[in-house]
Structure 1
Amino acid sequence: MAQLAPLAQPIGVFDDYFARQTEVIVLREKVMSLTGDSFEIKMQNGTPLFRVEGKVLSISGRKTLTDMSGKKLFDIVKEHLHIHTTFAVEDASGRKVMTVKSGFALLGSKATATFTTPRTGQQEVLKMKGNWFDSAADIVDERIGAVVGRIDRKLLSGRDLLFGQQTYALTVAPNVDMALMVALCICMDEKNNEGGGGLLG
């Protein structure tokens, strides 16, 4: 596992989920999900971290993320009437805490996430660029030029691809909000699988 440099100041929204060291999170579709919209999120060592459930009949394609005690952290909702695909991340009270917009890239994928870290009041802009389907995508904090996360499918072994499951490894730098990074990963997967068949259907 490649180590990512720790950030001098924490960035993120959900205080309980800041990475204390470089962490690898595995997002895996549930094998028998009828909708393709439910999956579990674990640490690389197998420790459960989050659950994601999709609302089957939701026009907005709403996805809800909870911790393992069932506490709701946020919803991901697709916003309409935008030129580029746009998602809002709303906390349990319905307040928008992050916006994720997709963009056009000649090679690979591109997305921009914006949010404000409550601890510091600092607005952050994260840019994700890379080849989503084949190898890896880096998530870079534009303000400080640091890689805060990396999405990589090659970290995973062949057994992770059994049953046709979609599986991603998300590496998160120390002092970065793991929950918010998971939200960004889900939004990017949702965008790249529009029209069917991916991790989020």
Structure 2
Amino acid sequence: MAIVGPQFCAPYPVDLIITQKFLSISERDFTVRDVQDNVWFRVKKTVFSLRERRVLQDASGQPVLTMQKKVLTAHDKWKVYRGSSTDDKDLLFVAKRSHMLQLKTSLDVFLAANTSKNVPDFKVKGSFFERSCSVYVGDTSSIVAQMKKQYTLKNIALGKDSFGVTIYPNVDQAFIVALIIVLDEINKEGGGSGGSFDVEI
């Protein structure tokens, strides 16, 4: 399941912690670490852009993915490109809310090769507010990743929002992290809701 690249797939489960500061003035809104506190990814917010844009960087600061919101769309559509590109030849996938009005969070994800877009390659649904989700393969019950809220006194004291993600073996970690970042952006814009949360892949 190397959607971004095989270097982001491991033959064993990987636990990552995604942290965001509240009211951060830094360009790096999110930091992704493992349980040993090693940085895996950072998310940089592009300032002074006509479009909402986020760049997923690796630990060395190299761009892995660029996430850009499509303007004038009713479904909060985001396009995700390889590296720092925003050229459609480097498009990896598109994610958007399933419906304009929905009681629960529902996100459709289409890989670039899925040009018909009749059926999403991935499906995200539930409630992002709870920060609790499961990731499935297609329409099956096979789980490939799970997310849950992280409550610690340190995070509360530092004004940070933190949640953990367990990514199953041979699943693209950069792809899963990018999905969560896009989902967070969409929910901040009013697309979220309460209730249980599942991410179906």
TM range (shorter): 0.7 to 0.9
Superposed, which structure 2 residues align to 1:70-89 within 5 Å?
A: 70-89=61-80
Change (3 A) 1:134 1:31: closer
Structure 1 partner of 2:127: 131
Higher deviation after alignment, 159-168 or 102-111:
102-111
Q: How many Å separate the matches in 2 of 1:56 and 1:99? A: 22
Amino acid at match of 1:15: P
Sequence identity, in percent?
24
- CA 1:53/1:30 → structure 2, altered by over 3 Å: closer, same or farther? same
Counterpart position of 1:24: 15
Aligned partner of 1:64 in structure 2 is: 55
Matches within 5 A, 1:92-171: 92=83, 93=85, 94=87, 95-104=90-99, 107-115=103-111, 125-153=121-149, 155-171=150-166
Q: Which amino acid aligns with 1:130?
A: G
Deviations 1:95-116 (A, max 9, x none): 1101111134855311122226
What RMSD, in angstroms, separates the aligned Cα atoms of the two structures?
2.6
Contact 2:94 2:112 in 1 (8 A): no
Gaps of 5+ in 2: 114-118, 191-201
Bigger Cα displacement from structure 2, 159-168 vs 65-74? 159-168
Query: Using a 3 Å threshold, how does the CA distance of structure 1 residues 28 and 80 change in structure 2: closer, same or farther?
Result: same
Give 3-state SS (helix, strand or coil) of 1:66's partner. strand
**Cross-structure match for 2:175:** 180
1:57-76 Cα shifts (integer Å, max 9, x gaps): 22211111111122211110
Query: Once structures 1 and 2 are overlaid, which stretch shifts more, 13-22 or 36-45?
Result: 36-45
CA contact (8 A) 1:22 1:172 kept: yes
Specify whether residues 70 and 165 from structure 1 end up closer, same or farther in structure 2 by C-alpha distance, changes over 3 A only: same
- 2:187 aligns to what? 192
- Give the TM-score normalised by the residue count of structure 2: 0.77
Count of residues in correspondence between the two structures: 180
1:125 and 1:161 map into 2 onto residues whose CA distance is 37
158 and 130 in structure 1: CA distance in 2 versus 1, 3 angstrom threshold:
farther
Which ranges of structure 1 fall in alignment gaps of 5 or more residues?
1-9, 118-122, 196-201
Give the aligned residue type for 1:179.
A
Paired residue type of 1:148: V
1:6 maps to what in 2? Answer: none
* SS of alignment partner, residue 166 of structure 1: strand
Q: Is the 8 A contact 1:149 1:171 kept in 2?
A: yes
Q: Deviations over 1:129-188 (max 9, x none)?
A: 2221125122222154422222211x4434333332121212211111000110000000
